[in-house]
Amino acid sequence: MADIATKERSRPKAAPSPWKQKRPKKPGTGVASLNGKWGYLFVAPFIAMFLIFGLFPVAYSTKLAFYKYDPLSLDQAWTWVGLANFKDILADETFWLSLGNTFEIWALSTFPQMILAIGFAAILRNRFLRGKTFWRTILLVPNITSVIAVAIIFGQLFGRDYGMINSIIGFFGFPHIDFIENSFASHVAVAVMITWRWVGYNSLIFLASMLAIPDDLYESASLDGAGAWKQFRYVTLPGLRNTITFVLIVGTIGGLQVYAEPLTLAGTNDGGSSHQLSTLTMYLFNESFINIRYGHGAAIGILITIIVLIISLINFVVTRRVASEDKK
């Protein structure tokens, strides 16, 4: 039996049948390749929407900024003017007035809004607070409210003769304030609308960032004798640096696009009798669709983009410098 087993082992194994061998797969076939094709199919709607409603309008408006466009002209609908549109805009006093109004409204709304948002987020982070989900939902309600509805309600609140704000002011013996004709007062009214609408949304953003800060840092600070204020100053605020940068950039972009609130409060596209409520977007609308200067409107859009890039760059440099000083 041992000899038979030895002979069986010494026999050479037969070559496998060519019909049973696995054939190599052609390139471009298989499950991975099929998943890749399905991935392109699923991404295609976004790419199409981006090209049609994102990239094409940007390229078209950039071209339009260097031309005088007359859609009613059959012979010369496009006339090259170079930088003439930009020169006309920069020489217009209404542009600089609108720019000043926009930045004043942005400053009056962004910084108080950020302070309130951080404060609300700190309250919602408190572990002893009851009904956290309810309060978070309540904070988000203003953000989903229609802009027109918010502007109409606040327009009634800031009414000159019968508004609730002026009624309270008059109760204490102070004269009524015209929140439409008075330049600074009108900017405060618009800033209050924007703050009321967006403070809850930013509060939830800051809350998410606060929840990402490790509890060990707070425990270490507490063991070192730091109270609630010092923990907030030396632990929470440094942990919110990137979030503050994000909120500032998004607030800058949104602040330069304010349109519905001042339009509803002023009641006219030109921003009032002395353009006291005119913003950059209102000025862009007037130049494009009221004065029928499409090239001027495109040039204003490019200038707004440049302003946003400059502010974002300044914010980035300041944030990097503060971060480097903290590391030292």
Q: Residues 135-176: pLDDT tens digits?
A: 888 888 888 888 888 888 888 888 877 788 888 888 888 888
Tell me the C-alpha to C-alpha distance, in Å, between residue 253 and each of 124, 260, 281. 27, 15, 12
Answer for the pair 184, 116: CB distance below 8 angstroms, yes or no.
Answer: no
Q: How many CB atoms lie within 10 A of CB 253?
A: 14
Q: What is the DSSP string of 188-221?
A: HHHHHHHHHHHHHHHHHHHHHHHHTS-HHHHHHH
CA 58 to chain centroid? 18
Give the Cα separation of 54 and 108 in Å (integer): 31
Mean pLDDT over the full length of the chain: 83
Name all domains of the chain by residue range, CATH numbers in brackets.
31-80 (no CATH), 84-327 (1.10.3720.10)
User: Where do we find the tokens 């006291």?
Assistant: 276
Helix (H, G, I), strand (E, B) or coil at 142: helix
Tens-digit pLDDT string for the chain (328 aa): 445 545 555 555 555 555 455 555 555 555 555 566 787 888 889 999 999 988 898 899 899 999 988 777 766 678 888 899 999 999 999 999 999 999 999 999 999 999 999 999 988 887 777 888 888 888 888 888 888 888 888 888 888 777 888 888 888 888 888 888 888 999 999 999 999 989 999 999 999 999 888 888 888 888 888 888 888 888 888 888 888 888 888 888 888 888 888 888 888 888 888 888 899 999 999 988 888 889 999 999 999 989 888 888 887 787 777 666 666 6
What was the pLDDT predicted at 103?
92
Rg (the chain; Cα; Å): 31
pLDDT score, position 98: 92
pTM, 2 dp:
0.78
| pLDDT for res 300 | 92
Q: What contacts 294, CB < 8 A, 6 or more positions away?
A: 64, 69, 71, 288
Please tell me what DSSP assigns to residue 26: P
